[in-house]
Amino acid sequence: MPSKHDRYKSKYTVDRQVPGAFEGETITRRRFMTGTAHTAGAVAAASFTLPALGLALAPVFEREPHRWEIAGPVDMFPDDNYIPVVVTLAAGIGQVGKTTVYVRKHNAALDTDAYDRNPRTHPFIALSDRCAHAGCPVRWVPAAERFACPCHGGVYDILGRRVGGPPPRPLDRFFTRVSKQGLVEIGPRYSVNSELKPFSPRGPGEPLDGLGQYLYPAQFDERK
């Protein structure tokens, strides 16, 4: 006969005098059934929660390598005017995957801000035609040296900085480089704040000054 102390300490249900206990049993059948039911419930919940979570989060981690797109020979681009070129951002989806980029050569008199004044890192300036307000295509007006948006009257200066209308930040930009063959190539898109400080790509309507830079997640899919 186990002592009172053994009765509470023993791992065997018989020693603990659990009603209906079997010899050698260490867990009550009630507890075993409860544990089994909880485990089955957790497996069932995970079977439909995890796939949904995976689908929701996959685009955040899925990032296709960017293709550098040829814009044209270096001589094609002046340093005081933009030339529009069409590049493919996402291959295989036709016109939807293409966009217009306004390209000009680096100009030491114009590109004086801290982030693009080095012509070795920014040999060409390439601005997105997508308005930073709601994404309408802007148009370069050489006589006024302005980009104009037809949708809500957004206006940008020659550097792509907002000078009128509702856009919350400057026009997005693209990295550029010159190939060994003397061709200007367009790289990944990036966004800039009002000081032209670069940030990872943001969507239309998302400001990058002040708190805005922390409120909106970066976009890595160029089709967005």
Contacting positions for ligand FES (CB under 6 A): 131, 133-134, 136, 149, 151-154, 165-167
Residue 184: helix, strand or coil by DSSP? strand
Q: Which is nearer to ligand FES, 154 or 207 (CB)?
A: 154
Q: How far is the CB of 208 from ligand FES (least distance, A)?
A: 16
Q: Which is nearer to ligand FES, 74 or 136 (CB)?
A: 136
Residue 6: helix, strand or coil by DSSP? helix
Q: Which is nearer to ligand FES, 21 or 151 (CB)?
A: 151
Residue 162 has phi, psi (to 5 degrees) of: -65, 130
Task: Count the Cβ atoms, other than its own, within 10 Å of residue 222.
Answer: 16
Task: Name 197's Cβ contacts closer than 8 Å, sequence gap at least 6.
Answer: 114, 115, 208
The type of residue at 19 is: P
Whether 181 and 164 have beta carbons less than 8 Å apart is answered as: no
Q: How far is the CB of 100 from ligand FES (least distance, A)?
A: 14
Element of type H or E holding 55: helix 29-61
Q: How far is the CB of 204 from ligand FES (least distance, A)?
A: 7
Cα dihedral 183, 186, 187, 190 sign: positive
Report which DSSP code applies to 133: T
Cα dihedral 161, 87, 94, 65 sign: negative
Residue 187's nearest CA partner among 85, 87, 92 is 87
Q: Which is nearer to ligand FES, 155 or 183 (CB)?
A: 155
Q: How far is the CB of 218 from ligand FES (least distance, A)?
A: 21
Residues 224, 211: Cα–Cα separation, whole Å: 22
Q: Which is nearer to ligand FES, 110 or 151 (CB)?
A: 151
Q: How far is the CB of 130 from ligand FES (least distance, A)?
A: 9
Q: Which is nearer to ligand FES, 29 or 152 (CB)?
A: 152
Q: How far is the CB of 135 from ligand FES (least distance, A)?
A: 6
